[in-house]
Amino acid sequence: MAKVSIIGGGSWGIALAVLLRGNGHEITVWSALDKEIEMLRENHEHKMLPGVKLAEDMAFTTDDKEAVEGKDLLIMAVASSYTRSTAHRLKPYVADGQKILNVAKGIEEHTVMTLSEIIEQEIPQADVAVMSGPSHAEEVGRGVPTTIVVGAKSKATAEYIQNLFMNEVFRVYISPDILGMELGGALKNVVALAAGIADGLGYGDNTKAALITRGITEIARLGTAMGGRFETFCGLTGIGDLIVTCASMHSRNRRAGILIGQGKTCDEAMAEVKMVVEGVHSAKAAMELAQKYNVQLPIIEQVNAVLFQGKSAALAVRELMLRDKKLEVSDQPWPV
C-alpha cells in the first residue's frame, strides 16, 4: 500500500483517487478551495461525477503540509494555469526525490514551458513524471476499461507508478519520451477545438476525420522539431488522445468548439462549458512554438484566429480547404 495525495479536487483527480483507492492505496485529496473540500467531505461524491462514490476512509484537506509530507506519490491534478502557483506553494514540504506525477495537460502561455518543466523549475528536488492518454474522468471513475502511458526520466520511477495504477480495467504503458507525451496531450486540445467548431458549423464525419488526421500531422511536425519521438505521436498519447478528445462529448474542448461554431464567442463558450478549456490556453503557446521552431501549423493557426482575432469560423474552414495544393506525405518519391 502506498500513501498518495491527489493535488486538486477536480473531476480528473477524483477519478484517479477512486481508482487508486480501489487498488488498496491510502488516499488524501487536497484542494485550495474550502468549498470543494467541504463538498467532498460531506457528500463523498464530486458533482461532476454523479454516482461515483468516494471511500469513507479517504482524507480531504486544504492543509499543504498534511497533503505533502510523508507521501509516496503526489499527483498534480490542477488545471494547467494553476500548475506553477500550486507547485510554488507546495515546494517547502516536498522532500528530496519525492515523486510527483503530473496528470494535467497544457503549455504555459508566456513561457511556452510544458507542465513537467514548470514543476521541475519550481520544485527542483522532486522526481517528476507525467501520465497521459485517452482517459475521460467520467469513464475512469466508473471503471470503464482505459489505457494510458506514464512517462518518467528513469525506468524505475515509471515502473513504480505503473504498478500503483495497473489493474484489470486500467492498463498502463511506460515511456521515456516525456516531452512528446506532453506536447501530444496539450496540442490535441487545440485540434479538438477545431473539431468542435466544425461540428458546430454542421459539418460531418468526413470533416472530422480530416481534422484528426491532419491535426496529428501538425502535432507530430512540431513535436519532432522540438525533440519528441515520432512514435509517441502515433500512440496513445498522440493519435489516441486526439481521437477521443475530438469525438467525445465528455471533451470540454470539443464542447466549447461546438458553441463557437454555433456563433458564441470564446468567453461565452468557456462560461457555458463551466470547466477549464485547456485548448484555449495552449493555442497561443502553440503558435509561439511554431514560430520558434519554424514549422507550419495551419489548423492551429486558424483556431487562434477564431479564438482571439474575431475571425469567422466558416471562413477559417474555407481557408483551410483552399490552401496551396500539397503532397500528403512530402518525402514520398514518385516511381520513375
- Residue the block writes with cell 484528426: 212
Q: Which residues of 162-179 are buried (b: 16+ CB within 10 A; e: fewer)?
A: bebbeeeebbbbbbebbb
Per-residue confidence (pLDDT) for residue 214, from 0 to 100: 94
Q: Is the pLDDT of residue 98 over 80?
A: yes
Per-residue confidence (pLDDT) for residue 327, from 0 to 100: 80
Per-residue confidence (pLDDT) for residue 132, from 0 to 100: 98
What does the angle CA 264 – CA 197 – CA 259 come to, to the nearest 5 degrees?
30
Residues 232-245, mean pLDDT to the nearest whole number: 97
Per-residue confidence (pLDDT) for residue 85, from 0 to 100: 98
Per-residue confidence (pLDDT) for residue 248, from 0 to 100: 92
Q: Is the pLDDT of residue 325 over 80?
A: no
* 7 DSSP β-pair partners: 30, 76
Q: Is 188 annotated in the active site? A: yes
What is the Cα–Cα distance from 201 to 174, expressed in whole angstroms? 39
pLDDT digits (tens, 9 = 90+) for 32-70: 999 999 999 999 999 999 999 999 999 999 999 999 999
Question: pLDDT: is 107 or 317 the higher one?
Answer: 107
Residues 110-128, mean pLDDT to the nearest whole number: 97
Where does the pLDDT of residue 142 fall: very low under 50, low under 70, confident under 90, or very high at 90 and above? very high
Which residue ranges make up each domain of the chain?
A: 3-176, 179-321
Where does the pLDDT of residue 329 fall: very low under 50, low under 70, confident under 90, or very high at 90 and above? confident
What is the Cα–Cα distance from 171 to 308, expressed in whole angstroms? 39
Q: In whole angstroms, what separates CA 83 from the centre of its chain? A: 12
pTM (predicted TM-score): 0.94
4 torsion bin: left (phi>0), alpha (psi -120 to 50), beta (else): beta
Residues 135-161, mean pLDDT to the nearest whole number: 97
Of the candidates 71, 99, 105, 188, the residue annotated as catalytic is 188
- Tell me the residue type at 162: Q
What is the Cα–Cα distance from 283 to 95, expressed in whole angstroms? 34
Q: Is the pLDDT of residue 19 over 90?
A: yes
The torsion defined by the Cα of 151, 153, 155 and 156, in degrees rounded to 10, comes to -110
What is the Cα–Cα distance from 64 to 32, expressed in whole angstroms? 9
Residues 17-36, mean pLDDT to the nearest whole number: 97
Q: Is the pLDDT of residue 331 over 80?
A: no
What does the angle CA 286 – CA 83 – CA 103 come to, to the nearest 5 degrees?
80
Residues 103-126, mean pLDDT to the nearest whole number: 96
Per-residue confidence (pLDDT) for residue 25, from 0 to 100: 98
Per-residue confidence (pLDDT) for residue 184, from 0 to 100: 97
Element (H, E) at 128: strand 127-132
Per-residue confidence (pLDDT) for residue 320, from 0 to 100: 86
Per-residue confidence (pLDDT) for residue 245, from 0 to 100: 95
Q: Is the pLDDT of residue 127 over 90?
A: yes
Per-residue confidence (pLDDT) for residue 8, from 0 to 100: 97
Structurally, at CATH architecture level, domain 179-321 sits in Orthogonal Bundle (1.10)
Per-residue confidence (pLDDT) for residue 333, from 0 to 100: 83
What is 3-176's CATH number, 3.40.50.620, 3.40.50.720, 3.40.50.80, 3.40.50.1220? 3.40.50.720
Residues 273/196, Cβ–Cβ less than 8 Å: no
Q: Which of 293, 294, 323, 319 is nearest to 304 (CA)?
A: 319
The mean pLDDT value of the chain amounts to 95
Q: Is the pLDDT of residue 16 over 80?
A: yes
